[in-house]
């Protein structure tokens, strides 16, 4: 019981923090920075406990006598929780300036953000499909509100409108899929579905497969994979910067946490039936995402479209898991971490600029001669772009390398070749920005590097990306990129069936 209470602490802290901030937001004379600091404090304590848990936990169920096996606590869920929490902390701190520069932020914003993180953390712990549905909805309903938070801008409201209609439509597919699975198996626990599939290998399971397909529809929608990717660019452009940042990094990881768990545990016996679909979806995501990214004129839109392409790479690795690659699952987690860092930094710079200057749109042209105006920021932006493109000596390169290796390991040379081709195409739209920053004269005089928590964190993230790329070879005895891969594969071992 005490052990369970200890395991539930991070979740409970985030939830209590959300309730506290909800009530605290009624006190009108509090400054916005204080709300931000309180939120970060709750998240940090939760993160520290989560880090300690990661060392000790193997495979546990939360309050097994009461909740049965609904909530699982293993290294995988803890690792994902660490990612959510650090993502949220970085998002909040980097956007500190941005919050102050806009008048529509208030205490409720932080309460909603915490509720969303609570939903994501529940999602990582879930071992049962209804719990998964409720957590997905908790995470997304709060995000619907956050997307439309800028109530002055019609674009923001429209993004919310699109997101809420398509999101709830997609969510319903998940619940119908669960109903069909429940109809066949008679239980919604992940382990039960697996054992049903193992014991009924010769019987007819089409209804179960249809149910699982419906569930896949929702998950593919939420990560923005190919046939369901049309909302991504509009919603990302329309929502405020902190929310875009949060969605692009943290929400994507959250959905992958349940996708990986489902794929590794439940879908294992029916890989032959669904792998072709995954392959087609991955290829379509890569191609359509690239086309969208090339067509964008706004930087935010380009980052949004390129996030679709990154999902395509991860789906490629998901396919490789099914074909039998040994380290594709850890490659996905590593790629998530590398994308998380790069995208966080890139969006962070955009949001810092948007708060510092009155540039609302931040199109490519706004960056002409940026390197002469702010050399340090431009250098950091270059690092993020290189990492997103997968340039060697950054963490993004290693992420792509592991994914392609896992695909090659399964013998799918053509698929890996397509991935590399797409990576070369992506150089076009990432390097366009770098070229614009360095090869044009600046209209404005040089500015000093502004020392603030946001900028320092951005530089820190940039250093982490470089360290993840080359640090492994240089510094012995310190867990670098390979260490992350080891941690990921260790976490995957505890998943159990």
Residues that bind another protein (CB under 8 A): 19, 22-23, 26, 66, 130, 133-134, 137, 141, 144-145, 148, 151, 154-155, 157-162, 164-165, 168-169, 171-172, 175-176, 178-180, 182-184, 186-188, 203-210, 230, 233-234, 237-238, 292, 301
Q: Judging by beta carbons within 10 Å of its beta carbon (0-12, 13-18, 19+), is residue 29 exposed, middle or buried? A: exposed
Q: Which is it for the CA torsion 67, 68, 69, 72, positive or negative?
A: positive
- Minimum CB separation of residue 304 from another protein in Å reads 9
Measured between its terminal Cα atoms, the distance across the chain in Å is 24
d(CA 301, CA 111): 27
- Minimum CB separation of residue 291 from another protein in Å reads 12
- Minimum CB separation of residue 103 from another protein in Å reads 16
| 66 or 474: CB nearest another protein | 66
CA distances from 139 to 12, 120, 416 (A): 16, 6, 33
d(CA 422, CA 428): 10
| 138 or 485: CB nearest another protein | 138
Backbone dihedral angles phi then psi of residue 128, each to the nearest 5 degrees:
-150, 145
| 2 or 474: CB nearest another protein | 2
Pull the structure tokens for residue 383. Answer: 């690092």
DSSP 305: H
| 63 or 440: CB nearest another protein | 63
Pull the structure tokens for residue 377. Answer: 């920021």
- Minimum CB separation of residue 300 from another protein in Å reads 11
Query: In which residue are the tokens 């040994």 written?
Result: 326
- Minimum CB separation of residue 326 from another protein in Å reads 33
Pull the structure tokens for residue 313. Answer: 């790479």
| 174 or 397: CB nearest another protein | 174
| 135 or 394: CB nearest another protein | 135
- Minimum CB separation of residue 208 from another protein in Å reads 8
- Minimum CB separation of residue 390 from another protein in Å reads 25
- Minimum CB separation of residue 386 from another protein in Å reads 26
Nearest CA to 357 among 375, 374, 379? 374
Contact 274, 212 (CB under 8 A): yes
- Cβ neighbors of 489 (< 8 A, separation 6 or more) are 327, 329, 330
Contact 49, 138 (CB under 8 A): no
Nearest CA to 97 among 352, 359, 345, 350? 352
d(CA 95, CA 33): 10
Contact 462, 384 (CB under 8 A): yes
HSE-up of 314 (CA within 13 Å, CB side)? Answer: 31
| 120 or 178: CB nearest another protein | 178
| 140 or 426: CB nearest another protein | 140
- Minimum CB separation of residue 267 from another protein in Å reads 17
| 125 or 400: CB nearest another protein | 125
- Minimum CB separation of residue 49 from another protein in Å reads 20
d(CA 287, CA 281): 10
- Minimum CB separation of residue 233 from another protein in Å reads 4
| 61 or 144: CB nearest another protein | 144
| 307 or 355: CB nearest another protein | 307
Query: In which residue are the tokens 């930094």 written?
Result: 345
């Amino acid at each position: 019981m005490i052990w369970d209470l200890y395991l539930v602490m991070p979740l409970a802290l985030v939830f209590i923090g959300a309730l506290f901030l909800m009530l605290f937001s009624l006190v009108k004379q509090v400054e916005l920075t204080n709300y931000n600091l309180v939120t970060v404090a709750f998240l940090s304590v939760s993160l520290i406990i989560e880090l300690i848990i990661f060392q000790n936990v193997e495979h546990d169920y939360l309050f097994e006598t009461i909740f049965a096996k609904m909530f699982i606590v293993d290294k995988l869920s803890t690792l994902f929780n660490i990612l959510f929490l650090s993502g949220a902390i970085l998002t909040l701190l980097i956007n500190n300036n941005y919050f102050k520069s806009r008048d529509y932020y208030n205490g409720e914003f932080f309460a909603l953000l915490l509720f969303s993180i609570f939903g994501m953390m529940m999602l990582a712990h879930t071992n049962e499909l209804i719990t998964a549905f409720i957590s997905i909805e908790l995470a997304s309903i709060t995000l619907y509100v956050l997307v439309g938070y800028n109530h002055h801008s019609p674009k923001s409201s429209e993004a919310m409108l699109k997101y809420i209609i398509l999101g709830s439509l997609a969510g319903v597919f998940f619940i119908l899929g669960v109903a069909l699975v429940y109809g066949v198996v008679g239980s919604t626990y992940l382990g039960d579905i697996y054992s049903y599939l193992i014991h009924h290998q010769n019987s007819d399971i089409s209804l179960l497969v249809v149910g699982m397909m419906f569930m896949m529809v929702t998950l593919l929608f939420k990560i923005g994979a190919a046939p369901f990717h049309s909302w991504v660019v509009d919603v990302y452009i329309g929502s405020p910067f902190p929310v875009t940042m949060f969605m692009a990094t943290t929400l994507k990881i959250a959905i992958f946490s349940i996708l990986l768990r489902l794929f590794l545990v439940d879908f294992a016996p029916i890989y032959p039936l669904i792998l072709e679909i995954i392959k087609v979806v991955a290829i379509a995501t890569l191609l359509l995402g690239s086309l969208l990214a090339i067509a964008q004129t706004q930087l935010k839109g380009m980052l949004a479209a390129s996030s679709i392409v990154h999902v395509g790479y991860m789906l490629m690795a998901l396919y490789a898991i099914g074909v039998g690659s040994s380290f594709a699952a850890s490659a996905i987690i590593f790629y998530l971490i590398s994308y998380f860092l790069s995208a966080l930094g890139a969006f962070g710079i955009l949001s810092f600029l948007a708060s510092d200057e009155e540039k609302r749109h931040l199109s490519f042209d706004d960056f002409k001669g940026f390197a002469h105006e702010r050399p340090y920021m431009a250098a950091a932006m270059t690092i993020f772009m290189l990492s997103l493109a997968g340039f060697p000596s950054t963490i993004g390169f290693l992420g792509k390398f592991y994914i392609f290796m896992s695909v090659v390991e399964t013998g799918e040379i053509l698929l890996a070749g397509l991935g590399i081709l797409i990576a070369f195409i992506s150089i076009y739209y990432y390097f366009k920005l770098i070229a614009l920053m360095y090869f044009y004269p600046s209209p404005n005089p040089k500015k000093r590097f502004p020392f603030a928590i946001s900028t320092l964190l951005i530089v820190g993230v940039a250093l982490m990306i470089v360290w993840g790329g080359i640090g492994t070879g240089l510094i012995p005895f310190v867990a670098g990129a390979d260490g992350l891969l080891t941690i990921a594969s260790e976490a995957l071992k505890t998943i159990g069936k």
